[in-house]
Amino acid sequence: MLGGGAGDRAASARSVQLIMYVVGFLDLAGVMMVIPMFVTHLRHLGLSPLMNGAIRSFYGVLQLVFSPLVGRWSDRYGRRPLLVMCLGVSALSYLVLGSSASIWVVIGSRIVTGIFKHSTTLCKSVLADVTPPEDRPKVMGKFNGAMGIAIILSPAIGGHLAHLDNGFAIVCSVSGVIFLGNCVVCLGLLPHELPLHARQTEGDQSKKDIAAKPRNEWLSLLYEVEWKVFGDIFVVDFFLTFAAYAYRASFVLIIDQMFAVSPTTIGYIISFQGAIGAAAGFFAGRLSRFQGSSQMVLFNSALVQAASLLGLTFAPSILLIVMLLVPLSVSATLIHTATSTLIIDRCAPSKIGSVTGVAQGIPAIAGMTTPCAGRPGAGGWSARARCPGLGGCLRRCRSSRMGSSLQAHHQADRDISYVRWRVSVIW
C-alpha cells in the first residue's frame, strides 16, 4: 500500500478516514449510552455527591496518566494493535459494569476503563498519519461530526432503555456489544500498514539525546514533549475545556432536580446538543478556510463559548437553556477541531501519538477537577435546587416566608446552593 502512486495513497487515506469516522461514531455511541445514566446510578447505589464526584475524578486521573503512554506505545508498536486492544478491554469493562450492583465492581470497572479507554486518542493519531496538513481541519471536523451524531442517537436510546427493568444493566450490556463491534471493525477493515502522508523518522537529534532521557517511561515521554512548542495551546485548551465542564458536570443533575425531567427528556436534550455539534463539525473545514487559520477559529469560538456560558448562568427557564445550548455546542465542536489541528500541525510525524496522548490528558485534568470544584454537591453543597434563575431564587426566598419555618429553612438552603452553583460557573 505504501509503494503505490499518489492517487492510490490518497484513495487508501480516504478509506482509512472513513473507517475512523465509523470507529469514532461507535466509540462515542457506546460511551454516551452509559454516561448520562451513570451519575444517577451512583446516587441510587447510595453514594454521596462528594463520592460521586471523586469516582469520576479518579477516572480523569487514570486518563491523564495512561493516555500519553498509550499514544507513545502506538508510535512504537503501531496504531492498529493498540486500538484493537483498547476497544476490546473497554467492551469487557462495560459488560462488567452492568453485571453487578456492587459499588466495588463499579469502581473496578471504571479503573479498567480509565486505563484502556483511549480510542479517541488513537483515532486522531491515525487521522493525523494519513491526512496532509491542509486537509486536517476538514477531516478532524468530520471526525468530531461523526461523534456528534453518536451524541444525537445514543442518549435518547439509553434513556428509553433505562425505563426497562434493570435498565442500567441493559444499557451497559448494549454499550459493551457496541465496543465489541467496533473492535471487529478495526480487526477486519483497518489495514496493518497505514498510507502515511509523511515518513516517520526520529532524526539525528533524537538519537543524540537518547542517553540524556530519563529511564522511566512516563518521565521520558514528558522529556520528549517540546513544551515551548505546545505549552500555549495546552493552557488554552485546559481553560476552555474547564469552563465547559464546569457547567456540564452539573447539567444532568441540575435539570433533573430543578425541572423534574425524566431520563428520556435528558437524553433528548443531550441528543439535541449532539445534533448541533455534529452539524458544526462538518462545516469546520470551511470555517477554517473562511477565517484564514485554525487560530482564528479557536479565538472566535472561545468568545462564543464565554458568551453562551454567561447566558446559561442566568437563564430563567428550560427553554432559554436549550436555546443557549446551540451556540455552546457549535463553539465546543469548533474548539475541539481547532485545538486538535493546531497541536498535530506543530508535531513531528514520529511523535504524533505521544503528543496527541498528552493533549487528551488536558480534558482529563479538566474532568478530574470539575466534578468536585464546579458542581453542586461538592464540599457539602446541595444539588436539590428547583428554582430556575436568580429572579426565581429571590421569588422563592420571598414566598418561603409564607410556609412553615422548617420549609422556609430548607428552601433557603436550596436557593443559596443554586446561587453558589451559578457563581461557580461564572468563575
Domains for the chain: give ranges and CATH numbers.
Answer: 6-194+221-380 (1.20.1250.20), 390-426 (no CATH)
Q: What is this structure's pTM? A: 0.72
**Residues 363, 361: Cα–Cα separation, whole Å:** 6
Closest to 167 measured CA to CA, from 257, 89, 260, 263: 263
Cβ-Cβ contacts under 8 Å for 138 (sequence gap 6 or more): 284, 285, 286, 288
Distance CA 323, CA 248 (A): 15
Q: How confident is the model at residue 149, as a pLDDT?
A: 86
Which CA distances in Å does 218 have to 64, 127, 360, 366? 11, 24, 15, 20
pLDDT on residue 180: 95
Q: What amino acid is encoded at 151 in this protein?
A: I
Asked which of 76-85, 110-119, 172-181, 237-246 is least confident by mean pLDDT, the reply is 237-246
Q: What is the mean pLDDT of residues 222-238?
A: 84
Q: Quote the percentage of the chain above a pLDDT of 90.
A: 16
Residue 408 binned pLDDT confidence (cut-offs 50, 70, 90): very low
Residue predicted with more confidence, 403 or 111 = 111
Greater pLDDT, 56 or 298 = 298
**Residue 90 near residue 77, CB atoms below 8 Å:** no
